[in-house]
Amino acid sequence: MTDDQTTELKTTPLDALHRRLGAKMVPFAGYDMPVQYETGIIAEHNHTRDQASLFDVSHMGQAHLSGDDAVAALETLVPGDIQALTEGKIRYTALTNSAGGIMDDLMVTHGGDHLFLVVNAGNKDADFAHIRDHIGDRTELNILEGRALVALQGPKAAEVLSRLAPDAGSMSFMTAETLNIGGADCFVTRSGYSGEDGYEISIPGEAAEDVTTSLLDEDEVLPAGLGARDSLRLEAGLCLHGNDIDATTTPIEASLIWTISKRRRAEGGFPGAAVIQDQIANGAPRKLVGILPEGRAPARAHTEITDADGASVGEITSGGFGPSVGGPVAMGYVRTDLAKADTPLNLIVRGKALPAKVIKLPFVPHSYYSG
């Protein structure tokens, strides 16, 4: 029995709405969350790729980090270039440990007089404690309890949101603005984790259902759950903490070197900097890669990967059916010498070696708004 089953599950401000919409609810990161609605995961996935879907991600942690020294203080915990952020801009980065491992990945937005942080649901208590323990004397962390967070994702997202908040359409990718939606001031970022264009909308708790309903009332928008969110991000080659990245994987191993600027690579000053700098200079022993299995059998997380001679060379971290690809897709770690595209591999599924090959990520091209 899981911890989610033995402890009382938390709910998001949209819980009652999910149930009215016929959602199938499951335990996830301590919350009762919708995994799918009546149309099913594949239909929700395809609708997101074709039009727009609305996901409840209110279980994630939202907080403001403030103080005159907040930027420099946060840089002692993450390898991302926070100093280079200007107001309204967003950075994807990670909290690292002394071994260079990824304690969590997070989004940091320059909100003017504060930094707006969004961290993963399963790690948020530990993340916020870590931040307070290490830089609490230099900053003030205000956890935004009770706020909702929804992700409007898909090629029709901008058209839809612009009807309710006209300035949304002119926002650039990875920027943020406060927009009034249905009478509520919402903090909106043009971002998401589906590979599609879209927005994440932080809503005051008391207005959450009204704002969400107004979005769902638009003809192009349908609700979608965790199942489609996972298949979309896998096809987009986006890491899931706890699967593809964790406290034992470094940003270099995870092919996230692009998140570390030239200045931060040179200066260091974050946990695990020596390990990460060494891997940048000399290479990492393993790399996260896309893996395309042959045939129809999916390779799930923890599936063993072998080379052509049958030697174990790694493990699948995420895998399943890719509706847009029309077949199985996976990500996993392999020895760095086997990380080149088209390298043949075998996946040990139910005791059988099934052929596969390394493929350059993403499986489905990103469709982020470029302005």
Distances in Å between the alpha carbon of 112 and those of 86, 109, 215?
8, 9, 28
3-state secondary structure the chain: CCHHHHCCCECCCCHHHHHHCCCEEEEECCEEEEEECCCCHHHHHHHHHHCEEEEECCCCEEEEEECCCHHHHHHCCCCCCCCCCCCCEEEEEEEECCCCCEEEEEEEEECCCEEEEEECHHHHHHHHHHHHHHHCCCCEEEECCCCEEEEEECCCHHHHHHHHCHHHHHCCCCEEEEEEECCEEEEEECCCCCCECEEEEEECHHHHHHHHHHHHCCCCEEEECHHHHHHHHHHCCCCCECCCECCCCCCCCCCCHHHCCHHHHHHCCCCCHHHHHHHHHHCCCEEEEEEEECCCCCCCCCCEEECCCCCEEEEEEEEEEECCCCEEEEEEEEEHHHCCCCCEEEEEECCEEEEEEEECCCCCCCECCCC
Q: Which domains does the chain carry?
A: 3-58+146-235 (3.30.1360.120), 62-143 (3.30.70.1400), 257-359 (2.40.30.110)
Check residue 346 and give left, alpha or beta (phi > 0: left; psi -120 to 50: alpha).
beta
- Write out the two tokens for 70: 């907040």
Tokens of 258: 């692009």
- Number of residues assigned to the chain: 371
pLDDT score recorded for residue 180 = 98
Burial of residue 266 (CB within 10 Å: 0-12, 13-18, 19+) is: exposed
Paired with 327 in beta bridges are 322
Contact 198, 157 (CB under 8 A): yes
Average pLDDT of the chain is 97
The pair phi, psi for residue 147, each rounded to 5°, is: -80, 145
- Which of 146, 294, 117 has its CA nearest to residue 206? 146
Which pLDDT score, from 0 to 100, does residue 371 have? 74
Segments in the chain below pLDDT 70? 1-6
pLDDT digits (tens, 9 = 90+) for 142-175: 999 999 999 999 999 999 999 999 999 999 999 9
pTM exceeds 0.75, yes or no? yes
pLDDT in tens, 269-285: 999 999 999 999 999 99
Residue 258: count other Cβ atoms within 10 Å of its Cβ: 8
Dihedral sign from CA coordinates of 47, 49, 53, 58? positive
pLDDT at 4: 47
